[in-house]
Structure 1
Amino acid sequence: MIDWSIEGSSFGNCNCGYGCPCQFEDLPTHGHCRGFEALSIDTGHFGDIRLDGLRIALLYAWPGPIFEGGGELQAVIDERAAADQRNALERVLHGEETEEAATHWWVFRAMSDLLHPTLYRPIDLDLDIDARRARLSIPGVLTGEGRPIRPPHSDGEHRVRIQIPGGIEFELAEIGSATSRSGADSAIALDLSDSYGQFNRLHHSGQGVVHA
């Protein structure tokens, strides 16, 4: 197995309520799962191939809970990536060179019947994890925005975290509200408004989450 590691800041949005049931081993809010994640890589490698400074995104959809399968995925890779970097990032996002069930990318791939062609586009991601704010733009593919949860009874901002010490995606994530829309070039349709928003550091290797 090729040695690889990726560390960076991640923003995601799915169609579930603010307390995404998947994080608690419960069924999706609306019975199905649909969303995306985007990642800005600070440091990373795939064998001898450096991945520092690149960005990636993954759109996904399942007709029911993820564990029932039947899903579809579409990866988007920074157009600045060279051919060898593109190949490396696609393999990682598709769960390759990874121990069984060690990362959420491995699980997503195992639970998906359809892999749409990977897209190579500019990915503009402005993200502040602690502030629970993000802006994402992938021309023709996806736009997204994240913000703090606003309580219905006040003008303040609600702050809540999810901590999963043995998780396969993150150890700690800030939770907020997010809205996203897919574009004409996306194979997976998204039209989400004020649903689950996730803001977190991500550090993965082929053995799973790299713990601090």
Structure 2
Amino acid sequence: MIDWSIESVTFGNCNCDYNCPCQFELRPTQGNCRGFEVGRIEHGHFDDISLDGLRWALLYAWPGAIFEGNGTMQAIIDERADERQRQALITVLHGGETEEAKTHWWVFHAMSSTVHEPLFKPIDVEIDIESRTARVSIPGVLVSSGQPIISPATGEEHRVRIDIPAGIEFEIAEIGSASAKATGAIELDLNDSYGQFNVIRHSGTGVVHTRV
């Protein structure tokens, strides 16, 4: 396999409640899964191709749980990427050059019967994991925002994290509230649902673990 790795600050939003059951190996809140994730690559390479500073997004939808398949997905690649960088990002976001089932990107692609052609767009994104805030704008495709969960009892911010030591997506993620609207091949209309703020560290052999 081609040697590659990506460390990306990432924000995602899906149609599940704040405690996304999929993270606990349960069926999604509404019985189906729709959402997106977007990232800003802090450090990355694909063979000798630098991916530092590039942005990416994935939109997805499944009629049931992800593991039941028959999903739809589409990658959006930073328009600033040159041709080699574009092909590199398409490859890894589609699960290529990756050991079987070792990253969530591999699983998403394997569980999708429809994979739309990638789009190349400007991706405007701001993500602050610690404060659980985010803002995303991809012209003609997606707008989204994320914020902390507010306790209905106290009116104050509520902080909760999901810790998955052997996960295929992240080791630990901050959870918040998010909303999104997407048009095009995959439509989204999400309001005050599951928001996820985390760092992705992926390679062709899976998640690069930073904790014992």
Question: Which residue of structure 2 aligns with residue 140 of structure 1?
Answer: 140
- Structure 2: 5+ residue runs without aligned partners? none
For 1:115 and 1:8, the matched residues in 2 are separated by 23
2:203 alignment partner, one of 197, 200, 205: 205
For 1:119 and 1:42, the matched residues in 2 are separated by 21
Where 1:89 maps in the other structure, the secondary structure is helix
Question: Which residue of structure 2 aligns with residue 5 of structure 1?
Answer: 5
**Displacement of 1:181:** 0.3
For 1:123 and 1:76, the matched residues in 2 are separated by 8
Give the number of equivalent residue pairs. Answer: 210
For 2:199 and 2:93, the matched residues in 1 are separated by 16
Where 2:27 maps in the other structure, the secondary structure is coil
- Structure 1: 5+ residue runs without aligned partners? none
Equivalent positions of 1:75-90 (< 5 A) are 75-90=75-90
Is residue 56 of structure 2 the alignment partner of residue 56 of structure 1?
A: yes
**Displacement of 1:167:** 0.2
Question: Which residue of structure 1 aligns with residue 169 of structure 2?
Answer: 169
Cα displacement string for residues 166-198 of structure 1 (whole angstroms, at most 9, x for unaligned residues): 000000000000000013xx2100000000000
**Displacement of 1:152:** 1.4
**Displacement of 1:128:** 0.4
Question: What is the letter of the counterpart of residue 42 of structure 1?
Answer: E
Moved over 3 A (4+): none
For 1:63 and 1:118, the matched residues in 2 are separated by 21
For 1:79 and 1:94, the matched residues in 2 are separated by 18
Identity rate of aligned residues, in percent? Answer: 66
Where 1:92 maps in the other structure, the secondary structure is helix
Cα displacement string for residues 21-48 of structure 1 (whole angstroms, at most 9, x for unaligned residues): 0100000000000000001001100001
Question: What is the letter of the counterpart of residue 36 of structure 1?
Answer: F
Cα displacement string for residues 58-78 of structure 1 (whole angstroms, at most 9, x for unaligned residues): 000000000000000000000
Is residue 23 of structure 2 the alignment partner of residue 32 of structure 1?
A: no
Cα displacement string for residues 151-172 of structure 1 (whole angstroms, at most 9, x for unaligned residues): 1122100000000000000000
Question: What is the letter of the counterpart of residue 13 of structure 1?
Answer: N
